[in-house]
Amino acid sequence: MPFLPHTDAQRAEMLAACGVRQVSDLFADIPPACRTDGLRMPEGLSEIEVYERLHRLSHRNAHELTCFLGGGFYDHFIPAAVDALASRGEFFTAYTPYQPEASQGTLQAIFEYQSAICRLTKMDVANASMYDGGTALFEAAMMAIRATGRNRIVLDTGVSPIYRRMLECYTRNLAIEFEEVAVAHGQSDRRRLAAAMDDRTAAVILQNPNFFGAVDDFGDIAAAARERGCLTIVSAYPVALGLLKAPGDMGADVVTGEGQSLGLPLSFGGPYLGFLAARLALVRKMPGRIVGLTEDRRGRRGFVLTLQAREQHIRREKAMSNICSNEALCALRAVIYLSLLGKGGLAEVARLCATKAEYAKQRLAAVPGVRVKRSAPTFNEFTLELPADAAEVVAKLVDKGIAAGFPLGRYYPGMENYLLVAVTEKRTRAEIGHFAEALESVL
């Protein structure tokens, strides 16, 4: 059997030490009627056979399409050093750093991750990670509800529909009311947002850039929210923060987002990384692990899990959240990525994305019948209006080797002819040109 080191002789010796004749004696507490008589599954395979089978399956996926798909999940460049460092066994085969002296590597890395997220979002504190951007947003909403004692949430429809339906799922059994406010001309509708916020509103939830790709400055909305005593939660795209105004500079109280773009492979939907950062005043309402700096008995700097009275293993049903394992290894990848890119590199990646997207926008808008949906400025993703059903156009472009984008009709009824196109630093001028030509040929 693979991975089982005991020899039969050792098993016999251990059974004798346990004072039993056979191993089944150790399972005697299981009611006889409930004992399994052999699982109905295949015999084990060798390493060669398993690799061959899964290698074959991996080829039954269309990963080689040129990717213009985004929707919050992007085909960014990952420096080789991210994989090399994150695949060190000392990191990935450890667990939650309950014993700080034996876990300083993980703890310091998380502290650096928290620092990087705070600097990116311009917030005071960040936790050690959440599962993904959607669950981070739900936890942010719960923070606001606890902090304000109110139970209404105003939700901009520029927030990812993937996240909005997750919020709906998580709150179904809770007394939380949502009011969705539709975007106007692709951007947050100031007038209706202000009207929707009242003295029962815990928070307004916004996204930048929004799902259609439009960039915004929420300073005025955050100010209006503050006047009404409600918090502003912004879901942000971290790579864009290399170029765009940070949510903290707009007056956000809580910032969340999907960290996949910070050095994590797309991996068919996970594992990803939810980041969550907030103003210091909210720290005791935050979910999840938080690492703090302290000293040992000889005055040396060290790191520990801190403020644990918020957490389930201490507070049980009164905890701020049920989260235990989070996405520590993904957070490690993110801080390695952000260190490699650095201040200049992240700004450059952001500028490459935005510029190439602008180029793609012009090339694609030049295709007869295609229009760029008029909207606010965009970052690396934009909405095209096609003269045909976007889902059908996209299906045809697959045959030409292109994952052309996301057909918006899937989430927004009435937008069947609209296509959401994403461009990252990995897309070349030639690929963008090929996309434009292919699009023209299928319309």
Biggest alpha carbon distance in the chain? 83
For the bound state, the minimum distance from the C-beta of residue 413 to other proteins, rounded and expressed in Å, comes to: 15
Measured from the CB atom, is 49 or 227 closer to other proteins? Answer: 49
Give the one residue of 146, 228, 271, 440 binding other proteins; rule: CB under 8 A. Answer: 271
Measured from the CB atom, is 193 or 394 closer to other proteins? Answer: 394
Cα of first residue to Cα of last residue in the chain, in angstroms, is 57
- 384 pairs with which residues across the strands? 372, 419
Measured from the CB atom, is 229 or 292 closer to other proteins? Answer: 292
| Under rule CB under 8 A, residue 338 binds other proteins | yes
| Pairwise CA distance, residues 98 & 267, whole Å | 29
Which residues, 318 to 337, sit near other proteins by CB under 8 A?
Answer: 318-319, 321-330, 332, 335-336
Candidate segments 115-123, 189-197, 198-206, 380-388, binder of other proteins by CB under 8 A:
115-123
Measured from the CB atom, is 87 or 441 closer to other proteins? Answer: 87
Q: Which two tokens stand for residue 95?
A: 């667990």
Which residues, 302 to 321, sit near other proteins by CB under 8 A?
Answer: 302-304, 306-307, 311-319, 321
- 134 pairs with which residues across the strands? none
Give the one residue of 76, 118, 207, 210 binding other proteins; rule: CB under 8 A. Answer: 118
Which residues, 124 to 183, sit near other proteins by CB under 8 A?
Answer: 124-126, 128-129, 131-135, 162-163, 165-166, 168-170, 172-174
For the bound state, the minimum distance from the C-beta of residue 253 to other proteins, rounded and expressed in Å, comes to: 17
Count how many Cα atoms sit within 13 Å of the Cα of residue 410 in the half-sphere of its side chain.
15
Give the one residue of 3, 21, 191, 374 binding other proteins; rule: CB under 8 A. Answer: 3
For the bound state, the minimum distance from the C-beta of residue 442 to other proteins, rounded and expressed in Å, comes to: 13
| Under rule CB under 8 A, residue 103 binds other proteins | yes
Q: Which two tokens stand for residue 245?
A: 């105004």
For the bound state, the minimum distance from the C-beta of residue 269 to other proteins, rounded and expressed in Å, comes to: 3
Work out the angle at residue 63's Cα, subtended by the Cα atoms of residues 61 and 67, and round it to the nearest 5 degrees: 145
Give the one residue of 21, 36, 413, 414 binding other proteins; rule: CB under 8 A. Answer: 36
Candidate segments 15-23, 186-194, 222-230, 366-374, binder of other proteins by CB under 8 A:
15-23
Measured from the CB atom, is 22 or 199 closer to other proteins? Answer: 22
Verify cis geometry, omega within 30 degrees of 0, for the bond prior to 271: yes
For the bound state, the minimum distance from the C-beta of residue 230 to other proteins, rounded and expressed in Å, comes to: 22
> Any residues with CB less than 8 A from the CB of 233 and at least 6 apart, and which?
137, 140, 141, 144, 203, 204, 205, 206, 252, 253, 254, 255, 256
Give the one residue of 8, 21, 191, 300 binding other proteins; rule: CB under 8 A. Answer: 300
Task: Give the containing element (helix H, strand E) for 394.
Answer: helix 390-398
For the bound state, the minimum distance from the C-beta of residue 73 to other proteins, rounded and expressed in Å, comes to: 6
Which residues, 48 to 77, sit near other proteins by CB under 8 A?
Answer: 49-51, 53-65, 67, 69, 71-73, 75, 77
| Under rule CB under 8 A, residue 4 binds other proteins | yes
Question: What DSSP character marks residue 231?
Answer: E
Amino acid at 303: F
Strands 406-407 and 418-422 turn out to be antiparallel
**Residue labelled with tokens 């016999």:** 12
| Pairwise CA distance, residues 194 & 223, whole Å | 10
| Under rule CB under 8 A, residue 112 binds other proteins | yes
| Pairwise CA distance, residues 349 & 141, whole Å | 31
Among 138, 139, 113, 327, residue whose Cα is nearest residue 238: 113
| Pairwise CA distance, residues 310 & 307, whole Å | 6
| Under rule CB under 8 A, residue 41 binds other proteins | yes
Other beta carbons within 10 angstroms of residue 34's beta carbon come to 6
Give the SS3 label for residue 181: strand
Measured from the CB atom, is 198 or 249 closer to other proteins? Answer: 249
| Under rule CB under 8 A, residue 185 binds other proteins | no
Which residues, 200 to 259, sit near other proteins by CB under 8 A?
Answer: 215-217, 241-246, 249, 258
| Under rule CB under 8 A, residue 19 binds other proteins | yes
Angular region, 77: left φ>0, alpha ψ -120 to 50, beta rest: beta
For the bound state, the minimum distance from the C-beta of residue 22 to other proteins, rounded and expressed in Å, comes to: 10
Question: What DSSP character marks residue 333?
Answer: H
Give the SS3 label for residue 340: helix
Measured from the CB atom, is 217 or 228 closer to other proteins? Answer: 217
Please tell me the count of residues contacting other proteins according to CB under 8 A.
209
Which residues, 360 to 419, sit near other proteins by CB under 8 A?
Answer: 362, 377, 391, 394-395, 398, 403-404, 406-407, 410
Other beta carbons within 10 angstroms of residue 250's beta carbon come to 23
Candidate segments 29-37, 189-197, 199-207, 380-388, binder of other proteins by CB under 8 A:
29-37
